[in-house]
Every structure is written in structure tokens, then in C-alpha cells.
Amino acid sequence: MIEQINTKQLEVLSYQASKKGKDCCGDSFLVVTKPDYAIISIADGLGSGVQAKESSEIVMNVLDKHHNEDLHSILLKCNDSLRAKRGAAVAIIKIYFSLNEMVYAGIGNIKFTIISPSGKSTYPLPKMGFLSGKPISIQIQRFSYENESVFLMSSDGVGMIASKDLLSYHHSLQSIIDLVRQQNNGNDDVTVLVGKIK
């Protein structure tokens, strides 16, 4: 399933597929676009199937309700929401358009890379672990970006695709999605968000 979001400031394409033999994907994602900021996030529920989906969906629902808050308090709320649930890995970016800045926080294995028009790539590393209601240490990373930067966020089912290659300017957003689809072997849930900040 491919979905597209296109606003004045942001274009995002998403692709999601379930693990082979599963009728639902344990990953969830959310894109929120506002005039002055945007939120982009993927959560990967531990395991697969319905219980994984439940955890990742809870996180996205919390995020959807609190996207106007700062990333630190959003993450604490997401973590709290998973008490007595399976748990989830998550990465969130919040883009502040007028500042040309974004903040990033990640816990667990969701990859995020952003490449500037001149080819400079930034890939903030997540903290190890996952959200499960237990105390977490949150690390917020803030960096500036140039307009026309391209980014990729993906769950671990996307595997060993070099994001640098993916994001080279020879590819359109659609061709990046096509490449991910071609390489998908069905061994895990797959979620990918590729976007361009205009």
C-alpha cells in the first residue's frame, strides 16, 4: 500500500507491507503536517501480527494527540502508554519549517537519514531498547537542514539498503519506494517513509 502526502512544504511517500503469512503489519506510522511544523514517525511493535500492531498503534495515537508538544514530553507519554503492552521501537522527527531545524529522537531499530541537496548525509543514531512503560533515557538531537533535503525513515524490515544510495539524486521518491518493494523478501513487516522538504 502506497500513500502520498503533498503540502506546500513537504512531500512524503509511504509504503507498508506485512510479514509473509501475516494478515496485519506490526508497524504503524504517522505523518502530521501543520503550517509551521511537521511530525514524521514510525513505530515497530515487538514481534509481529495483531499484538505488535496494537502496541505500535497506541504509540501513534498518543503522538497524534500530542504532536504540538515538545519531543521529550511526547516520548514520555508514548512510553507510558505501553505499560502492560508488548512494547515498540519508535523514531520521531519534528520539523520546524521557519527555523530550518528538526529534532529527532529514536529508541530501538528504526532508521532515519536525511541528505542535503549537496549530498551531505545526517543519520542520527537511536538509543538502544524500546518503549514499554519502563524508565527510559531520552536523547533529543537537534540539527538544521537545507531546503530540498530528502529523507528516509524505515523499520528494520527494510534491511540493508544503503540509504545513501537510495537517496542519491538519481532517484525520485517513487523510485526509492519501488526499490524497497523489489528488495522486500517478506521476512519482516516493512514500513518506509521517504520525503522531501521543499
Positions in the binding site for Mn ion (CB under 5 A): 44, 155-157, 188
Nearest to 12 by CA among 29, 26, 27: 29
Least separation, in Å, of the C-beta of 74 and Mn ion? 22
Least separation, in Å, of the C-beta of 65 and Mn ion? 24
Integer Cα distance of 104 and 72 in angstroms: 10
Q: 67 or 86, CB closer to Mn ion?
A: 86
Which runs of consecutive H residues, i.e. helices, occur in 30-171?
50-66, 71-80, 163-166
Least separation, in Å, of the C-beta of 191 and Mn ion? 8
Q: 78 or 197, CB closer to Mn ion?
A: 78
Residue 2 CA: distances (Å) to CA of 15, 63, 174, 177, 190 = 5, 22, 10, 9, 12
Q: 102 or 158, CB closer to Mn ion?
A: 158
Q: 126 or 157, CB closer to Mn ion?
A: 157
Nearest to 191 by CA among 106, 116, 123, 90: 90
Least separation, in Å, of the C-beta of 91 and Mn ion? 12
Least separation, in Å, of the C-beta of 198 and Mn ion? 30
Q: 44 or 94, CB closer to Mn ion?
A: 44
- Asked if residue 134 lies in contact with residue 117, where contact means CB atoms within 8 angstroms, the answer is no
- Residue 171 burial (C-beta neighbours within 10 Å; 0-12, 13-18, 19+): middle
Strand partners, 6: 11
Least separation, in Å, of the C-beta of 5 and Mn ion? 23
Integer Cα distance of 137 and 32 in angstroms: 25
Q: What is the DSSP letter of 21?
A: T
Q: Return phi, psi of residue 173, to 5°.
A: -55, -40
Q: 33 or 191, CB closer to Mn ion?
A: 191
